[in-house]
C-alpha cells in the first residue's frame, strides 16, 4: 500500500513523510530505519527532479536571490577570493538565516583589473555587495560606485577608519595610518534605499 504523497502541506516534527525508497531526505528532515520524518514544524515540499523531500520552517526568511544586496563581514582573504560572512539583506535588514558565507571573486571586485585582493579588502571589513549567484554557493560582487566597503578598522590600532580629505583613501583618526579599500561611495554609512 502506498503512503499518501506529502506534497506541500503543513507537517509537525516526527511526522512520517515517506520512505527512503521514494525520496531523498533533504533539509528539515531525518531518516530512521528507511523512513523519512519531518524534523521541524513547517511546510513539506518535494523537488520533482531530485526526489528530495524537505521541510521549510514557517518563519524562515526566503533565500537570497540574484540581484539582492547584502551586508557581510569579510572573514578571510584567499588568493583569488574574499570570504564573506553574510549578515543581513539590504535595505530590509532581515538577517540571513544561519549566517552563511559568500565569496567575492577577484574579478568581481570593481571595474577593471584587481591586482591583489589585499589592496581592496581586509578581514573584518563590513561590505555591501550584490548577489551574483545564489546557488549552490552564494557569489557576490562589489562592482559599481554604491558597493564595496562601508566600514573598516585600522590594521595597526583597530580604530574605525575615516575617509581622507580627498575621499580616495581611508585614514585612522587615532594613529594616522592610511589604508586603501574598494570603498562604497557612502563609506561610513549606507546608501538610501531606492524609492518605492
Number of residues that bind Zn ion (CB under 5 A): 8
CA 128 to CA 192: how far, in whole Å?
13
- One character per residue 144-183, x = contact with Zn ion (rule: CB under 5 A): ----------x-xx-x------------x-xx-x------
Q: How far is the CB of 151 from Zn ion (least distance, A)?
A: 14
**Closer Cβ to Zn ion, 16 or 157, answer by number:** 157
Q: How far is the CB of 71 from Zn ion (least distance, A)?
A: 24
Q: Using an 8 Å Cβ cutoff, are 17 and 44 in contact?
A: yes
- For residue 20, what is its C-alpha cell? 527512503
**Closer Cβ to Zn ion, 16 or 159, answer by number:** 159
**Closer Cβ to Zn ion, 163 or 175, answer by number:** 175
SS3 label, residue 107: helix
Q: How far apart are the first and last CA of the chain?
A: 54
Q: In what order do the strands lie in the sheet with 52-57?
A: 10-11, 42-46, 52-57, 24-25
- For residue 171, what is its C-alpha cell? 585614514
Q: How far is the CB of 178 from Zn ion (least distance, A)?
A: 10
For residue 16, the tally of other CB atoms under 10 A from its CB is 13
CA 185 to CA 183: how far, in whole Å?
6
Q: How far is the CB of 65 from Zn ion (least distance, A)?
A: 38
- For residue 71, what is its C-alpha cell? 551586508
58 touching Zn ion, by CB under 5 A: no
Q: How far is the CB of 110 from Zn ion (least distance, A)?
A: 25
- Rule CB under 5 A: which residues touch Zn ion? 154, 156-157, 159, 172, 174-175, 177
Amino acid at each position: 500500500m502506498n503512503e499518501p504523497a506529502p506534497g506541500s502541506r503543513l507537517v509537525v516534527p516526527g511526522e512520517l513523510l515517506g520512505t527512503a525508497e521514494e525520496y531523498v531526505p533533504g533539509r528539515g528532515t531525518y531518516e530512521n530505519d528507511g523512513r523519512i520524518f519531518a524534523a521541524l514544524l513547517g511546510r513539506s515540499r518535494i523537488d520533482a527532479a531530485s526526489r528530495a523531500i524537505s521541510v521549510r520552517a514557517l518563519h524562515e526568511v526566503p533565500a537570497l536571490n540574484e540581484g539582492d544586496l547584502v551586508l557581510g563581514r569579510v572573514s578571510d582573504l584567499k588568493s583569488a577570493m574574499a570570504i564573506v560572512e553574510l549578515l543581513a539583506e539590504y535595505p530590509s535588514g532581515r538577517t540571513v538565516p544561519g549566517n552563511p558565507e559568500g565569496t567575492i571573486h577577484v574579478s568581481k571586485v570593481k571595474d577593471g583589473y584587481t591586482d591583489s585582493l589585499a589592496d581592496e579588502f581586509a578581514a573584518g571589513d563590513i561590505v555591501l555587495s550584490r548577489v551574483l549567484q545564489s546557488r549552490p554557493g552564494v557569489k557576490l560582487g562589489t562592482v559599481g560606485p554604491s558597493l564595496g566597503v562601508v566600514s573598516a578598522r585600522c590594521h595597526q590600532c583597530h580604530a574605525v577608519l575615516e575617509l581622507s580629505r580627498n575621499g580616495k583613501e581611508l585614514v585612522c583618526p587615532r594613529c594616522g595610518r592610511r589604508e586603501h579599500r574598494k570603498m562604497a561611495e557612502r563609506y561610513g554609512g549606507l546608501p538610501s534605499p531606492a524609492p518605492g
